[in-house]
A and B are shown apart, each in its own frame.
Chain A
Amino acid sequence: MFGFSRAQVIAFAVLVLAVIAAPFLLYPIVAMQVMCYGLFAMGTNLLMGSVGLLSLGQAAYFGLGGYVAGYLVQSLGMTPEIGIVAGGLAGAALGAVFGWLAIRRQDIYFAMITLALAQIVYFGAVQLTGFTGGENGIQGIPRSALFGLISLKNDRVIYWLVAVVFLAGVLFVHRVVHSPFGQVVKAVRDNEPRMTSLGYQPASYKRVIFILAALLAGVAGGLKATVMGIETLSDVGAATSGLVVLMVLLGGIGTIFGPIVGALVVVAMQYYLAPFGAWVIVIQGAIFVVCVLVFRRGIVGELAYRLKSPL
């Protein structure tokens, strides 16, 4: 049905139920964070899974989205939906530029260029204090009314905004992957020289995916800034770039639902293990090691393998 396998339909239904039930079981702020990072991770997974490129600088688009949304809402008094859309577009624009620069290189050099570009963005964020607030960040981002009509001050209300954007994101990602465009991208990942000889331009396809990944990251960043009311340098830093890669790896590279599960585990871990300080970092590192050594398919990837059906 619409290119969804049966397992995927069930998984999506479960996801919708989980999203509806979550605010009654979990602290809503945590659930919203899971959805924002899930969106961010899904975008990164498009790059890692569909194209096979490891980007070490996705936080640049995530943070930029947050800063743009925060600035528009706080300093220019705009409504949140404008902030979030603008955040996404800003991320996509930066993704277009950086993607054009980075796609020319392969593998490790691609990774290093994305790292370098992200560091430059971080530096820019530190320097442009009028826009980003520098080390203090943008604080006290108000939750103004959605479309000028619906107040978002109650956590339960803004939760639905996040849920709708998130679920739309899931459907969007699935659509991209299972479209003719997505098929070409997968073929490019599997055998690029062959696709070139068939007349396709692999670089253009890679660039589009790069932009989509940056778009999703920007939307996720804008959403998070609106919910948390604060945007700081952490969101544009190397640690966040590493964290989203961890989410994708843990959840399952190349799966639709993997990044969501990865985001859930990582966010939950940071929340519940926060009293234990640096042990969170140790555990994150251990998960990286274990995943690379013996669990490369990730949680959902392993599940999909057992079910012999894509997830």
Chain B
Amino acid sequence: MTLSRRSVLGTALGAGALSVLPRAGARAAGKTLTIGVCSDFSGVYSDIGGKTSVACVHQAIEDWGAAAKGYDIKVIQGDHQNKPDVGAGLARQWFDNGVDMLIDVPNSAVGLAIASVAAQKNKTYINSNSATSLLTGPKCNASTIHWTYDTYMLSHSTGGAMVAQGGKSWFFITANYAFGQLLRDQTSAVVKAAGGTVVGDVAYPFPQTTDFSSFLLQAQSSGAQVLGLANAGKDTVNSIKQAHQFGITQSGMKIAGLLIYINDVHGMGLDIAQGLVLTESFYWNLNDRTRAFTKRVLPKTPSNYPSMAQAGCYSGTLHFLKAVDAIGVDTASNGAAVVTQMKKMPTDDDAFGKCWIREDGRFMCPSFLFRVKKPGESSTPWDYYDLLHMTPADQTFAPMAGEGCPLVKS
């Protein structure tokens, strides 16, 4: 009886394992693809990734006309909970069991961990939501593309703008993991290059910190002109809200939110967010094409407008599908082949317009410096930004040489 209980349990579990995921090996008859959205569905980054990212992936499939072209495309999702081991485990499991492309991934530590797995398994990985520029630097690989934005873009655009406005002495509050540390380091470099100084820096445990009062106090007593927030998502929202509570803005300190999404502005409300300067590579109300895309996708995500990262999921998925169609669906499981094709073809979609992908896997698009409107200036829902400046694509991102990417022949 011991024997029968154990083996029954084992067989039941095994059968369960087989049924949950698509099988590796021979592709089913017809043109099938599986796309996995690995994101944060319930944590600090759930508004800038999460369900809206999934909606954008579906929109791309729809806009491309998958059904009419005879494709059957499955979209699965998984929550990495902001833990690199969970994300890497999910990616490994997906790639071993028939997922052809993995997309999204807010949280740079998870993003980097998945890049290793994608390289190992040679599967297509479009990171449209992490910030770390290491993905096109030392950690670049043949099957990974870094979409949407990176820390270089943020530090030079927002950081540069704040310094130009007169903010010479900085104090950083940094999320203590890959993303925050890199963003702080790159922005410090920009500040110093412009003749400014970094007066102090405090790194807080991520993602469990919700009370920033102690760090804000230290920032205030440092006497710096600019409070540099090297964090994102709800951390940024909490930091700025509490900065107001502690009178930081009253005392004359300026706040540099190095990574702010439109969803964060929505979370703060224009009362608090007005005047903030930020950089995104997509804004729903920027031009007719972006407005058209947003109109199409909103029914799928009614309470959360897409920000640049989620638009990146749309753009990346669309381009992936075009590439797979060009080389044939049977090669879709060969990440390097798909990515090579994606680099050959220029991109064109309603979200980002005409762009292209560089040799090191960097998606090249222009970036936009925005200022958040005052409450009285906003007329329609989510009408939050005034455009200050556009930076062309080749100046938005770091030059390839010197970034340390092994794919680039120097």
Complex contact flag A–B (Cβ < 8 Å): yes
Chain A residues in contact with chain B, CB under 8 A? 7, 10-11, 14, 17-18, 21-22, 24-27, 29-30, 126, 134-137, 139-140, 155, 228-232, 234-235, 264, 268, 272, 274-275, 277-278, 303
Cβ contact within 8 Å between B97 and A135: no
B13 contacts partner chain A, Cβ-Cβ < 8 Å: yes
Q: Which residues of B contact A303 (CB under 8 A)?
A: 2
B15: A residues at CB distance < 8 A:
25
A10–B3 CB distance below 8 A: yes
Which of B10, B88, B112, B113 is in CB contact (< 8 Å) with A18?
B10
Mostly, the B contact residues are helix
Question: Do the beta carbons of B79 and A277 come within 8 Å of each other?
Answer: yes
The interface residues of chain B lying within 8 Å CB-to-CB of A228 are 85, 88-89
B382 at the A/B interface (Cβ < 8 Å)? no
- For this complex, 29 residue pairs linking A to B, each with C-beta atoms less than 8 Å apart, are A14-B3, A14-B7, A17-B7, A18-B10, A21-B10, A22-B14, A24-B14, A25-B13, A25-B14, A25-B17, A26-B10, A26-B13, A26-B14, A27-B97, A29-B92, A29-B96, A126-B205, A135-B176, A136-B177, A137-B84, A137-B85, A228-B89, A230-B88, A230-B113, A231-B85, A232-B85, A234-B86, A268-B13, A278-B42
Binary contact readout B364-408 vs A (1 if CB under 8 angstroms, 0 otherwise)? 000000000000000000000000000000000000000000000
Inter-chain CA distance A284–B9, complex, in Å, is 19
Residues B177 and A135 in contact, CB atoms below 8 Å apart:
yes
Residues of B within 8 A of A (CB): 2-3, 6-7, 9-11, 13-17, 20, 41-42, 78-79, 83-86, 88-90, 92-93, 96-97, 109, 112-113, 116-117, 176-178, 205-206
The residue among B9, B16, B17, B206 with the most chain A CB atoms within 10 A of its own CB is: B17
In the complex, the answer to whether A272 meets B20 with C-beta atoms within 8 Å is: yes
Closest to B119 in A: A140
CB distance from B1 to the nearest CB of A (A): 9
A221 to B116, CA, bound (A): 21
Q: Is the CB of A274 within 8 A of B78?
A: yes
Cβ A135 vs Cβ B17 within 8 A = no
Report the tally of A-B residue pairs with Cβ distances under 8 A.
Answer: 94
Indicate whether A14 sits within 8 Å of B6 (C-beta atoms), given known contacts A25-B13, A27-B97, A136-B109. yes
Knowing A25-B10, A137-B85 touch, does A277 contact B3 (C-beta < 8 A)?
A: no
A272 touching B16, Cβ below 8 Å: yes
For A13, give the chain B residue with the smallest CB separation: B3
Chain A nearest Cβ from B135, distance in angstroms: 13
In addition to A29-B93, A278-B42, 12 A-B residue pairs with Cβ atoms within 8 Å of each other are A14-B3, A25-B11, A29-B96, A134-B177, A135-B205, A136-B84, A137-B109, A139-B112, A228-B85, A232-B85, A274-B90, A303-B2
Nearest-CB residue, chain B, relative to A299: B5
Please determine whether A230 and B85 come into contact, CB atoms closer than 8 angstroms.
Answer: yes
| Bound-complex Cα distance A33 to B178 (A) | 27
Determine if B2 and A7 form an interchain contact, defined as CB atoms under 8 angstroms apart: yes
A11 and B2 within 8 A (CB): yes
Which of these, A27, A234, A235, A275, contacts B17 with CB under 8 Å? A27
Chain A neighbourhood of B85, CB < 8 A: 137, 228, 230-232, 234-235
Q: Secondary structure at chain A's binding surface: helix, strand, loop or mixed? A: helix
Residue of A nearest to B82 (CB): A135
Residues of A within 8 A of B13 (CB): 25-26, 268
Complex alpha-carbon distance, A53 and B309, angstroms: 50
**Residues of chain B contacted by A22 (CB below 8 angstroms):** 10, 14
Q: Check if A234 sits within 8 Å of B2, measured CB to CB.
A: no
| Inter-chain contact B3/A139, CB cutoff 8 Å | no
Within the assembled complex, what's the spacing in Å between the Cα atoms of A27 and B17? 7
Centre residue among A22, A140, A234 by max chain B CB count within 10 A: A140
- Write the chain A residue with the least CB distance to B109: A136
Contacting pair B6 A18 (CB below 8 A): yes
User: In the complex, how many angstroms separate the beta carbon of A306 from the nearest chain B beta carbon?
Assistant: 10
A residues less than 8 Å from B93 (CB atoms): 27, 29
A277 touches B41 (CB 8 A): yes
Task: Please name all residues of chain A whose beta carbon is closer than 8 Å to the beta carbon of B112 when the two chains form the complex.
Answer: 136, 139
Query: What's the least CB distance linking A197 to chain B, in Å?
Result: 41
Chain A residues contacting B10 (CB-CB under 8 Å) are 18, 21-22, 25-26
Give the docked Cα–Cα distance between A24 and B17 (Å): 11
Which 9 interchain pairs have the tightest Cβ spacing? A25-B14, A135-B177, A140-B116, A136-B109, A232-B85, A136-B178, A14-B6, A139-B113, A230-B85
- B42 close to A277 (CB less than 8 A): yes
Tell whether, in the assembled complex, residue B17 and residue A10 are in contact, meaning their CB atoms are under 8 Å apart.
no
Q: How far is the CA of A30 from the CA of B97 in the complex (A)?
A: 13
| Chain B residues positioned under 8 Å from A21 (CB to CB) | 10
Query: B116 — which chain A residues lie within 8 A by C-beta?
Result: 139-140, 229
Give A140 to B117 CA distance when docked, in angstroms.
Answer: 8
- Among residues of B, the one whose C-beta sits closest to the C-beta of A28 is B96
B146 to chain A, nearest CB (A): 17
Nearest to B180 among chain A residues (CB) is A135
B78 CB contact (under 8 Å) in A26, A126, A275 = A275
- Assembled-state Cα–Cα distance A25/B7 (Å): 11
The smallest beta-carbon distance between B204 and chain A, in angstroms, is: 10
Give chain B nearest CB distance to A28 CB in angstroms: 9
User: Chain B nearest CB: distance from A243 CB in Å?
Assistant: 14
B84 touches A230 (CB 8 A): yes
Alpha-carbon distance A24/B7, docked complex (angstroms): 13
Min CB gap A4→B, angstroms: 14
Contact A26–B176 (Cβ < 8 Å)? no
Across-interface contacts of B84 in A (CB, < 8 A): 136-137, 139, 230, 232
Residues of B within 8 A of A272 (CB): 16, 20
User: How far is it, in angstroms, between the C-alpha of A70 and the C-alpha of B176 when the chains are bound?
Assistant: 21
Q: Which residues of chain A are within 8 angstroms of B2 by Cβ–Cβ distance? A: 7, 10-11, 14, 303
CA distance A140 to B90 in the complex (A): 15
Point out the residues of chain B lying under 8 angstroms from A274, CB to CB.
Answer: 78-79, 90
Contacts of B9 in A (CB 8 A): 264
